[in-house]
Amino acid sequence: MSKHYAIIAEYDTPADIMAAAEKVHAAGYEKWDVHTPFPVHGMDDAMGLDNAKVGWFTFFGGITGLTVGMLMIYFMNKVDYDIVVGGKPLFSGFYAFPVAYEMTILLGAFGSLGGMFILNRLPRHHNPLLINDRFAAVTDDKFFVVIECEDPAYDEAVTRALLEGTDPQHIEMVEDAQ
Amino acid sequence: MSDVVGQSLQSVETHTPKELERQPLVLNNRPLGWITEQVCSILEGKMPKWWNVAFVVSFLMMLMCFGYIGYLVTTGVGVWGLNHPVAWGWAIVNFVFWIGIGHAGTLISAILFLLRQKWRCSINRTAEAMTIFAVICAGIFPGIHVGRIWLAWWLFPIPNAHGIWPQFRSPLLWDVFAVSTYFTVSLLFWYMGLIPDLATIRDRLRIAGKKLNSGLDWMINRFKQFTYGFFAMGWTGSNRHWRNYEKAYLLLAGLSTPLVLSVHSIVSFDFAVSQVPGWHTTIFPPYFVAGAVFSGFGMVLTLMIPMRVLFKLEEIITIRHLELMCKVIIATGSIVGYAYGMEFFIAWYGGNPYELYAFKNRAFGPYWWAYWIMISCNVISPQLFWFQWCRTSPWFIFVVSIFVNIGMWFERFVIVVTSLHRDYLPSSWGYYSPTRVDILTFVGTFGLFMTLFLLFVRYLPTIAISEAKGVTPQADPHHELGGAKPKQEGSRL
């Protein structure tokens, strides 16, 4: 059994989809998205999206790296195996800095990539869009507006009419194969 | 307001004289689908004959490298030419050489991204791949030069039965963290850039697979769909995803920039923190970083000039791209030349007789030939790029890029060997020569590097497809080729 998942409209150019996105945003939809082969500049504004929150993941990753790096060196060279080398102090933030700095960057980078995946709810391999044939061109040269049927404002006839008003190349219903 | 901006931009465009117009980054106004086709057809089709030949040769060279490493491990470091006082020979020279090569990839992917240099989009994928493979080659040498390779794990802070920990006051240990972080972050950055392109290949495979019903081709297609699809993470080009993706990309670029500067700085600390004349100088970190970028761009050009011709990518990696890379070579080559001069000046001006002796000995001592190879390749040859003809003739750039590679290897040889072969005690002076094992292990790492690189061009997109599309006028919603209708009323366009 299959049920409707979303209605998709296909466009040829970034300008067309930008105009369409503004109209769909103005119509007050929530569960909708724009799919493009590359990030289109100005699309976040057209869709009414705020700033991405990935930075928090990077920040906490970096803080963790710096803390872990410093504490690790303190524990290893001052507490657990305290041996004097060259008359230098057992612990100093200066000699510990290069390693802690690399750890900051390492965990910050994992935070950025991981944060991107978490915020995007990826990996998601069962997406109904991925079995639609026309939609395959989204990673090539076509642009799509997708309005999910679960959207509170969704009504098959009204939504279709709205999308037809944006001058698309093609409109199609995507089924969710159960 | 954006209408006004749009119109004024247009009037600027119409009033720009033809000869002052910027050459586009993708030539001949190709449609977006053309870029996908051009890049994906490389890995979807059969590889040409030269690829097979090159792969076999590289693979054999790689086996030779591993064979000599096996010989080294089973016999001992005596098979190398190391002696007293030169206890750091080719292994360290090769390590610094390879790690330096990697720096151009990160410069292109991170620093040029932060500087909004759009031309990086045609070359960043290949350059990043080169970084990763070069760091793999570099990583071999510190591992094997410890002598007892089965104890190499002592480099890492792993709890052990002796109850001892690494000594973090040593720059050699900083290097372990710097290089392993550099490799990991480069890999993450590279993988993240690949996600949208892996999705492109996945979708093309799915459509192509529709025509196949069963049989071997079908099974291969299904396997490839699964593999590319698995790593594409279910990417659909959603703008809500692009928003986080672009932010994460920016942050990774922001993290990689201080990382790449720190990695070669820390490599230079391996030398600069010691008390050896010729090593103990404060100029080392910036001088090493500039040299690393210089050598890396040499290697990028060496790889990219044949690649763009063999895979017919001349319209995506244009002469303009090559010319811009040559300009980076002049800049970094001149910094390196300045550093050579400044080292001599400080050796004299600093009034330290040992330091002055070390530098006089570099240029006129037993290793004078290495020093002058270095000077001619690194200081003189890049200056040819002041002439436009030299910057725009691919075969000529290729030749100079080979000189840069050679020169930068010799720079590290000069630094490592000439500083060590003279000691404070003349009784321990010596002369260092590599053995057959030294030479062929190093030659073999080129086999490893090329094997990995050939596999990369065989199985992954060599151009960042989505990024290359993003910088074309067809991708700009405010450009007529992007579908903009300038006179339309009531729209932000």
- pLDDT per residue as tens digits for the range B82-92: 888 888 889 99
Nearest CA in chain A to B191: A113
Rounded Cα gap, residues B255 and B19, in angstroms? 39
Nearest CA in chain A to B468: A38
- How does residue B4 score in pLDDT terms, banded at 50, 70 and 90? low
> Cβ of A98 and B476 within 8 Å?
no
Nearest CA in chain B to A94: B169
pLDDT of residue B227: 93
Is the confidence at residue B13, as pLDDT, over 60? no
Could you give all domains of chain A from N- to C-terminal order, each with its CATH number? 2-51+126-177 (3.30.70), 54-119 (no CATH)
Task: Please list the helix, strand and coil fractions of chain B in percent, rounded to the nearest 5, in that order.
Answer: 75, 0, 25
pLDDT of residue B445: 95
The beta-carbon neighbor of B236 closest among A21, A81, A130 is A130
> Cβ of B248 and A115 within 8 Å?
yes
Q: What percent of chain B has pLDDT over 70?
A: 94
Tokens of B140: 């071999």
Give the residues across from A147 on adjacent strands. A7, A32
Tell me the CA distances in angstroms from A73 to B71, B264, B265, B278, one per residue in order: 36, 22, 21, 31
> What's the distance, Cα to Cα, between the start and end of chain A in Å?
6
> Cβ of A113 and B188 within 8 Å?
yes
Q: What angle do CA B161, B164, B168 make, to 5 degrees?
A: 145
**Chain A residues within 8 A of B491 when measuring between CB atoms:** 19, 22
Task: Please list the helix, strand and coil fractions of chain A in percent, rounded to the nearest 5, in that order.
Answer: 50, 15, 35
Instruction: Give which of B36, B39, B182, B245 to mutate to test A binding, by max A Cβ within 10 Å.
Output: B245
pLDDT of residue B14: 56
Within B273-352, residue ranges assigned H as helices are 284-310, 319-349
**Closest to B313 measured CA to CA, from B68, B107, B42:** B42
> Cβ of A98 and B196 within 8 Å?
no
pLDDT of residue A104: 95
> Cβ of A95 and B199 within 8 Å?
no
pLDDT of residue A4: 84
Average pLDDT of the residues in B26-47:
84
Q: What is the pLDDT of residues B96-137, one digit of tens each?
A: 999 999 888 888 888 888 888 888 888 889 999 999 999 999
Q: Supply the ipTM of this predicted assembly.
A: 0.92
Rounded Cα gap, residues A119 and A56, in angstroms? 11
**Closest to B366 measured CA to CA, from B413, B303, B312, B427:** B413
**Could you report the average pLDDT of every consecutive run of 10 residues in chain A (178 residues)?**
81 88 87 90 85 91 95 93 88 92 95 93 86 87 89 84 86 81
Average pLDDT of the residues in B328-332:
93
The beta-carbon neighbor of A43 closest among B178, B239, B474 is B239
> Cβ of A140 and B244 within 8 Å?
no
> Cβ of A113 and B203 within 8 Å?
no
Tokens of A1: 């059994």
Tell me the shortest Cα–Cα distance from A60 to chain B, in angstroms: 13
Tell me the CA distances in angstroms from B234 to A109, B194, B197, B200, B243, one per residue in order: 21, 13, 12, 11, 16
pLDDT of residue A132: 85
Average pLDDT of the residues in B252-262:
92
Tokens of B197: 């392109």
Instruction: Give which of A25, A31, A38, A76 to mutate to test B binding, by max B Cβ within 10 Å.
Output: A38
> Cβ of B242 and A16 within 8 Å?
no
3-state SS class at B306 = helix
Is the confidence at residue B157, as pLDDT, over 60? yes
Rounded Cα gap, residues A132 and A171, in angstroms? 12
Write the DSSP symbol of residue A49. -
Backbone angles phi, psi at B405, to 5 degrees: -60, -45
For residue B306, the tally of other CB atoms under 10 A from its CB is 14
pLDDT of residue A1: 46
CATH node for B47-153+168-475: 1.20.1630.10
Greatest CA separation found in chain A? Answer: 81
Is the confidence at residue B342, as pLDDT, over 90? yes
Is the confidence at residue B372, as pLDDT, over 70? yes
pLDDT of residue B471: 85
Instruction: Give which of A79, A122, A174 to mutate to test B binding, by max B Cβ within 10 Å.
Output: A122
Rounded Cα gap, residues B138 and B132, in angstroms? 10
Average pLDDT of the residues in B272-280:
89
Q: What is the average pLDDT score of chain B?
A: 88
3-state SS record for A73-122? HHHHHHHHCCCCCCCCCCCCHHHHHHHHHHHHHHHHHHHHHHHHHHHCCC
Which residues in A9-38 are b (16+ Cβ under 10 Å) and which e?
bbbbbbbbbbbbbbebbeeebeebbbbbbb
Tell me the shortest Cα–Cα distance from B209 to chain A, in angstroms: 12
Average pLDDT of the residues in B349-374:
92
Q: What is the pLDDT of residues B404-435, one digit of tens each?
A: 999 999 999 999 999 999 988 888 888 999 99
Instruction: Give which of B34, B36, B243, B265 to mutate to test A binding, by max A Cβ within 10 Å.
Output: B243
Write the DSSP symbol of residue B314. T
Q: Do you find a cis peptide bond into A37, omega within 30 degrees of 0? A: no
Is the confidence at residue B21, as pLDDT, over 70? no
For residue B181, the tally of other CB atoms under 10 A from its CB is 25
pLDDT of residue B454: 94
Lowest-pLDDT range, B17-26, B105-114, B347-356?
B17-26
Rounded Cα gap, residues B483 and B171, in angstroms? 56
pLDDT of residue A58: 94
The beta-carbon neighbor of B246 closest among A12, A18, A39 is A39
Phi-psi region of B80 (alpha: psi -120 to 50; beta: other; left: phi over 0): beta
- How does residue B208 score in pLDDT terms, banded at 50, 70 and 90? confident
> Cβ of A13 and B485 within 8 Å?
no
3-state SS class at A157 = helix
3-state SS class at B191 = helix
CB A9 within 8 A of CB A170: yes
Give the number of C-alpha atoms closer than 13 A to the C-alpha of residue B376, restricted to the C-beta side: 8
CB A128 within 8 A of CB A174: yes
Average pLDDT of the residues in B59-83:
93
Tell me the CA distances in angstroms from B24 to B30, B419, B475, one per residue in order: 11, 48, 13
**Chain A residues within 8 A of B247 when measuring between CB atoms:** 51-52, 54-55, 116
Tell me the CA distances in angstroms from A104 to B138, B315, B362, B483, one per residue in order: 23, 40, 39, 44
**Closest to B183 measured CA to CA, from B140, B232, B233, B244:** B140
